[in-house]
Structure 1
Amino acid sequence: MTDTKRFGGRFIVEDSKPESVVTPEDFTDEQRMMSLAAEQFLEAEIEPNDAAIEALNYELTVELLRKAGELGLLGADVPEAYGGIGLDKVSTTLLAETMARASSFALSVGAHTGIGTLPIVFFGTPEQKRKYLPDLAMGTKIAAYCLTEPASGSDALGARTTAKLSEDGKHYVLNGSKLYITNAGFADVFIVYAKVDGEKFTAFIVERSMPGFSVGPEEHKMGIKGSSTCPLFFEDVPVPVENVLGEVGKGHHIAFNILNIGRFKLGAACLGSSKETIELASAYANTRKQFGKPISSYPLIAAKLADMNIRTFALESMIYRTAGFIDETLRDSGAEEAESTAEEAGMRAARAIAEYAIECSMVKVFASEALDAVVDEGVQIHGGYGYIREYKVERIYRDSRINRIFEGTNEINRMLIPGTLLKKAMKGDLPLLQKAQSLQAELIGPMPLPDFAEPLSKEAYRVAQAKKTFLAIGGLAVQKLGLRLEEEQEVLCVLADLMIQTFAMESVLLRSQKILQGIGGKNGEQAGLAAAMTEVFVQEAMEKVESLAKTALSALERGDGLQMQLSVLKKLMRAPLADTIALKREIAARVIRSEHYVV
Structure 2
Amino acid sequence: MSEQEMRPPKLAGGGFVIQNMEMDRLFTPEDFTEEQRMIGETVRNFISGEVIPRDEDIEKLDYGLTVELLRKSGELGLLGADVPEAYGGLGLDKVSTALITEALARGSSFALSFGAHVGIGTLPIVLFGSKEQKERYLPDLASGTKIAAYCLTEPDSGSDALSAKTTARLSDDGSHYVLNGSKLYITNAGFADIFIVYAKIDGDHFTAFIVEKGMEGFTLGPEEKKMGIKGSSTRPLFFEDVKVPAANLLGEIGKGHRIAFNILNIGRYKLAAGTVGGAKESIELSVKYANTRKQFGVPISSFPLIRKKLAEMNMTAFVMESMVYRTAGLLDEAMQDIDDSGSDAGAAAAAAIAEYAIECSINKVFTSEGLDAIADEGVQIHGGCGYIQEYKIERIYRDSRINRIFEGTNEINRLLIPGTLLKKAMKGQIALLAKAESLQRELLQLVPGQTFDGTLEQEDHVLSMAKHIFLLTGGLAVQTYGTRLEKEQEILSSLADMMIELYAMESILLRTRKHILRTSEEKALPMIQMTQVFVYESLQRMDALAKEILTSAASGDMLRMQLSVLKKLTRTQPVNTVALKRSIGERVVRSERYTV
Aligned to 1:77: 82
1:441 deviation in Å?
2.6
Secondary structure at the aligned position of 1:74 is classed as: helix
For the Cα contact (< 8 Å) 1:6–1:429, is it kept in 2? no
Matched, 1:94 2:91: no
Once residues 272 and 94 of structure 1 are traced to their aligned partners in structure 2, the CA distance between those partners, rounded to angstroms, is 9
Count, aligned residues = 589
Partners of 1:112 and 1:542 in 2: CA distance:
40
Task: Report the equivalent of 1:403.
Answer: 403
Q: CA deviation at 1:450?
A: 3.9
| Aligned-pair CA distance for 1:77 | 0.4
Q: 1:288 and 1:63 mapped to 2: Cα distance?
A: 38
Aligned to 1:23: 28
Picking from 583, 593, 598, the partner of 2:595 is 598
SS of corresponding position for 2:90: coil
1:361 is matched with which residue?
A: 361
Q: Distance in 2 between matches of 1:243 and 1:127?
A: 10
1:152-163 alignment, distance < 5 Å: 152-163=157-168
Other-structure match for 1:543: 540
The residue number in structure 2 matching 1:509 is: 509
Which residue does 1:292 correspond to in 2? 297
Question: Does the 8 Å contact 2:516/2:523 carry over to 1?
Answer: no
Corresponding residue number in structure 2 for 1:474 = 474
Query: What does residue 276 of structure 1 align with?
Result: 281
Distance across 2 between alignment mates of 1:125 and 1:458: 53
1:60 pairs with 2:57: no
Q: Cα offset for 1:174? A: 0.3
CA displacement at 1:442 relative to structure 2: 2.6
Deviation, 1:443, is 2.5
Of the three residues 199, 203, 207, the one matched with 2:208 is 203
Q: What SS does structure 2 have at the residue aligned with 1:127?
A: helix
Give the whole-Å Cα distance in 2 for the aligned partners of 1:445 and 1:43: 57
C-alpha offsets along residues 254-283 of structure 1, whole Å, 9 cap, x if unaligned? 000000000110001111000000000000
2: CA distance, partners of 1:505 / 1:202: 40
Which residue pairs with 1:566 in the alignment? 563
Map 1:208-227 to 2 at 5 A. 208-227=213-232
1:177-188 pair list within 5 angstroms: 177-188=182-193
Is 1:130–2:135 an aligned residue pair? yes
Q: Tell me if the contact between 1:376 and 1:397 (Cα under 8 Å) persists in the aligned partners.
A: yes
SS at match of 1:140: coil
Deviations 1:166-194 (A, max 9, x none): 01100000000000000000000000000
| 1:453 shift after superposition | 2.5
Separation of aligned partners in 1, 2:215 and 2:160 = 28
Matched, 1:43 2:48: yes
1:532 matched to 2:537: no
1:445 is displaced (CA, Å) by 5.4
| Residues 355-434 of structure 1 aligned to structure 2 (within 5 Å) | 355-434=355-434
**CA RMSD, aligned part only?**
1.2
Q: Contact 1:121/1:346 (CA < 8 Å) preserved in 2?
A: yes
Alignment-derived partner of residue 239 in structure 1: 244
Give the residue type in structure 1 aligned to 2:478: V
Return the letter of the residue paired with 1:73. L
| Structure 1 SS opposite 2:344 | helix
Equivalent residue for 1:557?
554
Q: Does 1:164 align with 2:161?
A: no
Distance apart, 1:523 and its partner CA: 5.7
- What is the CA–CA distance in structure 2 between the aligned matches of 1:562 and 1:258, rounded to whole Å? 42
CA displacement, residues 435-475 of structure 1 (integer Å, 9 cap, x when unaligned): 00000133355533443222111111101111110011111
Give me the whole-angstrom Cα distance separating, in 2, the residues matched to 1:10 and 1:524.
29
5+ residue gaps, structure 1, are none
Determine if contact 1:447/1:571 at 8 Å carries over to the other structure. Answer: no
- State whether residues 82 and 89 of structure 2, in contact with CA within 8 Å, keep that contact through their aligned partners in structure 1: yes
State whether structure 2 residue 254 is matched by structure 1 residue 257: no
How many angstroms apart in 2 are the aligned matches of 1:72 and 1:450?
55
**Is contact 2:98-2:270 (8 Å) kept?**
yes
Letter paired with 2:199: A
Instruction: Please give the alpha-carbon distance, in whole angstroms, between the structure 2 residues aligned to 1:139 and 1:463.
Output: 46
Q: Deviation of residue 589 (structure 1)?
A: 1.1
* Alignment partners' CA distance in 2, 1:523 and 1:82: 45
Aligned-partner Cα distance in 2 for 1:491–1:275: 33
Report the AA paired with residue 534 of structure 1: T
Amino acid at match of 2:566: L
Deviation of 1:73 after TM superposition, in Å, equals: 1.1
Aligned to 1:581: 578
Aligned partners of 1:25, 1:130: CA distance in 2, in Å?
37
